[in-house]
């Protein structure tokens, strides 16, 4: 998704903007640009490609020299990735903007502006906003923003330079995230905290339809009527180190290694006297007793964490759970009842479909619970109940540690729910919670014992055209995540299948040497899965088996065996996911891919 930054102060603005944009690279982008006030004029530099391409261009053409400006990394939505479509966009002589989001009525607005003599150079919806703002501007920035915002529909965060207001930045948001950072003699705007943390930890969260005005003397906020707003100053608890690679080759492998700590930090504060305690998050035993049905709504990896939630909650707490992809849920007229609990899982807390799904559930009278990693994000703020996962910033586009903490929370919730419903005693609940507390050490062991083997096995995957992941029950839920991880960063096609479903069609895909990753960690289903493995093996598949350290594996079952530490059957996903992440990681590395920023993908999907 696009990233926005802006700077007012005394530093070399071009340098600040580019280094801040680098910290937003995790959001995914295909072009970049900056606009800086230079001797009373706005100097724009843009390039298709990476920030390195922009820097190369500025080395060759000269970089804008000044202390005030805005910058942008673009993830194309309207119009191909190209220099012309990249931001910042001018709206005429008076206005230059950067934008994150989507303007839904841009076609109508463009027609209106063309009728009024305006011409356009790009295919973007952003240029329409720039032109409209310019059209509405008569020297009063707030008035022009107010008028423009009353005309545009959609989601957006905007950073704006008015040509006759050197030394100032205006910013406004609706739906898309934007923060305003402050330090002595300088201020910043950014789509996310890591962009500014090297300069300041102090920031304000801009709310829906609030306007920020930044100068080197400080920042002020007003609503669309120009009425002053006082806001709470926040202090980021992330160190700069946490937002950087810390000696690893990629963020993804760093984040895989951070999983034990992330689980500890997420789980430990939610345990009291050996029992899960989510009271502080607004979830009480009394409330859980009343829950009749649960919907878990999310996208991608977060939805796969929801699948784990479904299997464990239905098994232990006997509450029916429906897992939905957010983009389907929001348009399929779901049947939601007042006593239903709707759980939204999201790392970023800004995923457009998940946010819309949550709003829909609320409007239907259900209670919503958000499980979110990004503090202060939209989903976190709007949910009725909130459990923060404490994974810290996840920078790699492929989610690993966020998934791990999402499933940790699923376990806590499941144990408390099962206890509330009377399906387990407090003693049983404590034993389960103890086992969960031992997981961080087991994840550590799993990384140590499977890392090199996964690296070796990855060498056998790099030339594959297609792979299958198979498993039953929780292993099927894990297979879905393993398959997504592999395809998104290795660009090798793969599919996850319920092992027992193969013979209903998919087994015809198996050819000599085709890699099949079989996950068989569920002791109660082990023999059944092994039968399915034999079916693919008999047809020539190269089987890579992920099983627990104690599993008895016949000689004819697998070509490669990855063993993970054994824990309670229901907790096995927390160790078994690790080799699936490592296999994806090393396959991507060996194929020479951009592991942390896979093509076409964005970290935070703030558009529908």
Which residues are catalytically annotated? 2, 603
**300 interacts with ligand F6R by CB under 6 A:** yes
If the CB atoms of residues 488 and 548 are measured against ligand F6R, the closer one turns out to be 488
Tell me the C-alpha to C-alpha distance, in Å, between residue 258 and each of 60, 253, 392, 402, 584. Answer: 40, 9, 9, 10, 17
Pull the structure tokens for residue 143: 């008035």
If the CB atoms of residues 4 and 169 are measured against ligand F6R, the closer one turns out to be 4
- In the chain, the largest separation of any two C-alpha atoms, in whole Å, equals 80
Pull the structure tokens for residue 412: 């806590």
Q: How far apart are CA 591 and CA 336, in angstroms?
A: 45
**410 interacts with ligand F6R by CB under 6 A:** no
- Select the span of 70-78, 294-302, 413-421, 549-557 touching ligand F6R (CB under 6 A): 294-302
**480 interacts with ligand F6R by CB under 6 A:** no
State the alpha helices, DSSP H only, in 462-562.
Answer: 474-490, 526-538
Distance of CA 333 to the CA centre of its chain: 25
If the CB atoms of residues 391 and 570 are measured against ligand F6R, the closer one turns out to be 391
**352 interacts with ligand F6R by CB under 6 A:** no
- Select the span of 146-154, 331-339, 344-352, 461-469 touching ligand F6R (CB under 6 A): 344-352
Minimum distance of ligand F6R from residue 492's CB (angstroms)? 15
**299 interacts with ligand F6R by CB under 6 A:** yes
Binding residues with ligand F6R: total (CB under 6 A): 15
**490 interacts with ligand F6R by CB under 6 A:** no
- Select the span of 137-145, 293-301, 495-503, 550-558 touching ligand F6R (CB under 6 A): 293-301
Q: What is the DSSP letter of 256?
A: H
Minimum distance of ligand F6R from residue 273's CB (angstroms)? 32
Task: Quote the crossing angle between the two packed helices 426-437 and 401-420, to the nearest 10°.
Answer: 170
**488 interacts with ligand F6R by CB under 6 A:** yes
Peptide bond into 335 cis (omega under 30): no
Candidate list 348, 532, 575, 581; residue touching ligand F6R; CB under 6 A: 348
Cβ proximity of 191 and 100 under 8 Å:
yes
Ordered DSSP codes for 436-468: HHTHHHHHHHHHHHHHHHHHHHHHHHTT-SEEE
Helix (H) or strand (E) holding 581: helix 573-590
Q: What is the DSSP letter of 236?
A: -
CA atoms within 13 A of residue 49's CA, in its CB half-sphere: 8
The residue with tokens 């790699």 is 396
- Select the span of 131-139, 147-155, 343-351, 503-511 touching ligand F6R (CB under 6 A): 343-351
Residue span 11-50 as binding mask against ligand F6R, x where in contact by CB under 6 A, dash where not: ----------------------------------------
Pull the structure tokens for residue 77: 């939505």
Candidate list 347, 389, 433, 581; residue touching ligand F6R; CB under 6 A: 347
If the CB atoms of residues 302 and 457 are measured against ligand F6R, the closer one turns out to be 302
Q: Of residues 384-403, which lie at the interface with ligand F6R (CB under 6 A)?
A: 398-399
Q: How far apart are CA 97 and CA 169, in angstroms?
A: 10
Candidate list 354, 446, 532, 587; residue touching ligand F6R; CB under 6 A: 354
Candidate list 100, 191, 259, 346; residue touching ligand F6R; CB under 6 A: 346
Q: How far apart are CA 315 and CA 321, in angstroms?
A: 10
Cβ proximity of 90 and 129 under 8 Å:
no
Minimum distance of ligand F6R from residue 373's CB (angstroms)? 7
Pull the structure tokens for residue 114: 């063309």
Minimum distance of ligand F6R from residue 386's CB (angstroms)? 14
**369 interacts with ligand F6R by CB under 6 A:** no
- Select the span of 21-29, 296-304, 427-435, 588-596 touching ligand F6R (CB under 6 A): 296-304
Site for ligand F6R, rule CB under 6 A? 299-302, 346-348, 351, 354, 398-399, 484, 488, 604-605
């Amino acid at each position: 998704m696009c990233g926005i930054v802006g700077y007012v102060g005394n530093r070399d603005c071009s340098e600040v903007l580019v280094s801040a944009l680098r910290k937003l690279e995790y959001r995914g982008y295909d072009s970049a640009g900056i606009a800086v006030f230079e001797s009373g004029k706005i100097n724009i530099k843009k390039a298709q490609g990476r920030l390195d391409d922009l820097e190369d261009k500025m080395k060759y053409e000269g970089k804008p020299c000044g202390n005030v400006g805005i910058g942008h990394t673009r993830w194309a939505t309207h119009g191909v990735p190209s220099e012309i479509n990249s931001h910042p966009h001018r709206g005429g002589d008076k206005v230059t903007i950067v934008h994150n989001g989507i303007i839904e009525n841009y076609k109508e607005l463009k027609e209106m502006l063309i009728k009024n003599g305006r011409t356009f150079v790009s295919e973007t919806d952003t240029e329409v906003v720039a032109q409209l703002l310019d059209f509405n501007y008569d020297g009063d920035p707030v008035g022009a923003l107010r008028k423009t915002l009353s005309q545009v529909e959609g989601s957006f965060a905007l950073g704006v330079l008015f040509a006759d207001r050197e030394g100032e930045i205006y910013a406004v948001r609706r739906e898309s995230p934007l923060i305003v950072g402050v330090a002595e003699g300088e201020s910043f705007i950014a789509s996310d905290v890591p962009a500014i943390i090297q300069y300041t930890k102090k920031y304000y969260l801009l709310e829906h339809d609030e306007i920020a005005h930044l100068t080197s003397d400080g920042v002020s906020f007003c609503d669309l009527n120009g009425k002053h707003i006082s806001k709470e100053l926040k202090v980021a608890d992330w160190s700069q180190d946490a937002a950087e690679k810390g000696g690893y080759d990629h963020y993804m492998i760093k984040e895989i290694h951070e999983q034990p700590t992330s689980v500890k930090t997420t789980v430990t504060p939610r345990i009291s006297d050996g029992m899960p305690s989510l009271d502080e998050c607004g979830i009480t035993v009394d409330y859980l007793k009343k829950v009749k049905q649960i919907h878990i709504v999310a996208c991608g990896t977060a939805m796969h964490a929801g699948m784990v939630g479904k299997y464990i909650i239905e098994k232990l707490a006997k509450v029916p759970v429906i897992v939905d992809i957010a983009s389907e849920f929001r348009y399929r007229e779901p049947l939601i009842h007042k006593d239903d609990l709707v759980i939204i899982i999201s790392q970023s807390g800004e995923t457009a479909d998940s946010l819309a799904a949550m709003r829909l559930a609320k409007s239907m009278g259900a209670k919503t619970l958000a499980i979110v990693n990004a503090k202060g994000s939209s989903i976190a703020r709007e949910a009725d109940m909130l459990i923060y996962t404490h994974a810290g910033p996840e920078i790699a586009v492929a989610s690993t540690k966020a998934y791990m903490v999402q499933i940790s929370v699923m376990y806590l919730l499941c144990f408390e729910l099962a206890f509330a419903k009377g399906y387990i005693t407090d003693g049983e609940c404590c034993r389960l919670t103890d086992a969960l507390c031992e997981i961080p050490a087991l994840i550590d062991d799993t990384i140590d014992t499977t890392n090199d083997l996964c690296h070796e096995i990855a060498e056998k995957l790099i030339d594959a055209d297609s792979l299958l992941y198979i498993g039953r029950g929780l292993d099927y839920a894990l297979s879905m995540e393993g398959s997504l991880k592999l395809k998104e960063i290795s660009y090798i096609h793969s599919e996850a299948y319920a092992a027992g479903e193969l013979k209903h069609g998919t087994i015809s895909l198996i050819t000599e040497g085709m890699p099949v990753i079989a996950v068989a960690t569920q002791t109660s289903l082990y023999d059944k899965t092994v039968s399915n493995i034999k079916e693919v093996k008999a047809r020539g598949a190269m089987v890579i088996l992920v099983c627990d350290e104690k599993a008895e594996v016949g000689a004819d079952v697998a070509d490669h065996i990855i063993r993970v530490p054994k824990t309670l059957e229901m907790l096995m996903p927390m160790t078994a996911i690790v080799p699936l992440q490592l296999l994806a990681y090393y396959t991507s590395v060996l194929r020479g891919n951009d592991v942390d920023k896979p093509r076409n993908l964005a970290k935070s999907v703030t558009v529908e």
